[in-house]
Amino acid sequence: MTRIREAFSGGRKAFIPFITCGDPDTGTTKAVVHEAVKNGADIVELGIPFSDPTAEGAVIQSANYRALKGGITTDKVFAMVRELREDISIPLVFMTYANVVFSYGSDKFISSCHDIGIDGLIIPDLPYEEKDEFLPYCRKNDVALISMVAPTSEARIEMIAREAEGFLYVVSSLGVTGTRSEITTDLGAIIRAVRRSSDIPCAIGFGISTPEQARNMAGIADGVIVGSAIVKIIAQYGREAPKHVGEFLRSMKGAICSSTASGGSRQSSPA
Amino acid sequence: MTNKAGRFGVHGGQYIPETLMNAVNELERAYNHWKDDAGFNAELTALLNDYAGRPSRLYYARRMTEDLGGAKIYLKREDLNHTGAHKINNVLGQALLARRMGKTRLIAETGAGQHGVATATAAALMGMSCVVFMGVEDTIRQALNVYRMRLLGAEVVPVKTGTGTLKDAVSEAFREWTSRIDDTHYCLGSVMGPHPFPVIVRDFQAVISREIRAQVMEREGRLPDCVIACVGGGSNAIGSFYHFLNDETVRLIGCEAAGRGIDTFETAATISTGRLGIFHGMKSYFCQDEFGQIAPVYSISAGLDYPGIGPEHAHLHDTGRAEYVPVTDEEAVRAFEYLSRTEGIIPAIESAHALSHAMKIAPGMGRDKVIVVTVSGRGDKDCAAIARYRGENIHD
């Protein structure tokens, strides 16, 4: 968990790329993770595929199907992360659905996360009301159970933020994952609401695909999560994707670094 | 720290994205406010009676009873409801609730198309817009129902993701709800999904067992020995069981779709072949592989072709209060044909699963025993598919 905090330390704007594991194979995923680290990723979010990813748009759904068709399993993802950890030290977090964790055995899954060097867990179908499903195992194994807030959260924001761990995943807009031409939610207001009860770092995700969007989001929040735009490049180039993803990530990282902290940032407001 | 909303034993809960939490909380508040409201209930009852044709008949199947030579068989005729299935009971309730919540748009998933047709019907009746998500495979299997929904003014979205069946339609309806909540109510069709849906749908379907109880008492002067219904998500079954749950003498039997058999992968029998999991907002039993990937289930019946079961059924299975048995395609088709010839009633292929089990157990029960089988829907929609199953190529 401390590794996640360090990724946001000193006012750094964390860049958090998302990659679906095993799309199209684990070799490509590993190469993409290495490209991500080389091009300035501060945290990498690794998606463990699920057959029915209800919070995903078409792009990440397809990546899940491709990876499962390619034979990816939870055990193969764990083995891949073990290999990645031989030379990668930035925080790695898993994004997957509740059933993938639960059916493996929650305790066994989360203690394996600890053993292979996973720092956090993002579960989009686990709201605040159900987090006791996994929280005791996460506490025991020092794995951050990362909470989400959405544009519809309203009065729930402070309750969620107060108990949030690692970083808070701020969902930029209604709907599922996928690129959006514009993001109209008043994200500044959401982050101000978070700040009223917590100093948890806030990273914005869903729909961020261009350097300009990344720059804007980094101006509002402490971190930027980019998923579908990367997965799209992998869908297009397959095993040749790593170098193309690398170029894209470099442009996004540059944009995030060029942003200036605005009034909503964690460092400029009282905790 | 957390509340345990909507639990049936360990089952149920609210495993959904944060984006939907306020929507389900708002729905729960609205439901709790209106469910005991006299005006709401008067309006619902008037619609159920005058529009949907309730109470549905409890029909003594004399020829079937005599032919099987055992227990007396009554059929609860949900197939005679307007739109041809039990689905309308729940939909009228939810549509009224949605209107009181200020929603102007209904979305729904559908498998066989019966829930989609019922939702499209209620939307037309109440002047609401309607979008129905239906697996692309099911739009082919149930082409007639697609046309009916369009005729009623609904938009039908064929869902091509995953296996292109009911579970994918549910996923897509949830995705749609996540993107448009303000004016939209997700009219879920079964006793599944996150709390409060399993409670709301059960309560609106409980009219079935309320009527069975009164009707059997009137005819037989006592409670039935056994109530049998088919189970996909389980809405007609929970509706048929609910008012008998405290009567331990009444056996409650849910019939799952075994497809080509529970020893094959081509099955949808969740209790027989599934294990505990978390999916579509609930903890319950699901057909899944060792890593929790949801299984691509199969049944000849599009309405039972679902890899899970409602959380209250999962709990009734755990406690032993209800029994769940698998019925294969072949057995269901034989029951479909049997009831058509014996009683002149063409049942939905879903309901034929329940009828098949009644055919199995009735001969072994005494003539003084009473079985009620819920005929959840009419079988007109299935004629083309059953003809194809029997090798005849007719057009819908």
Q: Which CATH architecture has domain B54-84+205-389?
A: 3-Layer(aba) Sandwich (3.40)
Cβ distance B280 to A54 less than 8 Å, yes or no, reads yes
The reported pLDDT for the residue numbered B395 is 65
Same fold, B17-48+87-201 and B54-84+205-389: yes
- Residue A182: pLDDT band with limits 50, 70, 90: confident
The reported pLDDT for the residue numbered A263 is 39
Structural domain containing residue A171: 2-260
**Res. A102: pLDDT tops 60:** yes
Mean pLDDT, each 10-residue run in order, chain B (396 residues) = 73 97 97 98 98 98 98 98 98 98 98 94 98 94 91 97 91 96 97 98 98 98 98 98 98 98 95 97 98 95 93 98 98 98 98 98 98 97 93 78
Query: How far is B13 from B390, CA to CA, in rounded Å?
Result: 42
The reported pLDDT for the residue numbered A223 is 97
The domains of chain B are located at 17-48+87-201, 54-84+205-389
- Residue B176 · residue B107 · CB < 8 Å: yes
Residues of chain B whose beta carbon is less than 8 angstroms from a beta carbon of chain A are: 1-3, 5, 13-23, 161-162, 167-168, 171, 174-175, 178-181, 275-281, 283, 286, 288, 290-294
Cβ distance B291 to A100 less than 8 Å, yes or no, reads yes
ipTM over 0.90: yes
Taking the CA of residue B325 and the nearest CA in chain A, the distance in Å comes to 24
**Chain A contact probe: residue of B4, B291, B297, B306 with most A CBs at under 10 A:** B291
Is residue A266 a part of any domain in this protein?
Answer: no
Is residue A269 a part of any domain in this protein?
Answer: no
Query: How far is A252 from B337, CA to CA, in rounded Å?
Result: 64
* The one catalytic residue among B240, B356, B376, B381: B376
Domains in chain A, number: 1
What confidence tens digit (pLDDT) does each residue in A109-165 have? 999 999 999 999 999 999 999 999 999 999 999 999 999 999 999 999 999 999 999
Cβ distance B23 to A152 less than 8 Å, yes or no, reads yes
The reported pLDDT for the residue numbered A184 is 83
Q: What is the mean pLDDT of chain A?
A: 94
The reported pLDDT for the residue numbered A260 is 58
The answer as to CATH 3.40.1190.20 being correct for domain B17-48+87-201 is no
What CATH number corresponds to the domain at position A33? Answer: 3.20.20.70
Query: How far is A214 from A207, CA to CA, in rounded Å?
Result: 10
**Res. A25: pLDDT tops 90:** yes
More confident residue, A105 or A265: A105
The reported pLDDT for the residue numbered A152 is 95
Is residue A270 a part of any domain in this protein?
Answer: no
Spell out which residues of chain B touch residue A102, defining contact as CB-CB under 8 Å: 276-278, 283, 292
Taking the CA of residue A97 and the nearest CA in chain B, the distance in Å comes to 9
Is residue A92 a part of any domain in this protein?
Answer: yes
The reported pLDDT for the residue numbered B396 is 54
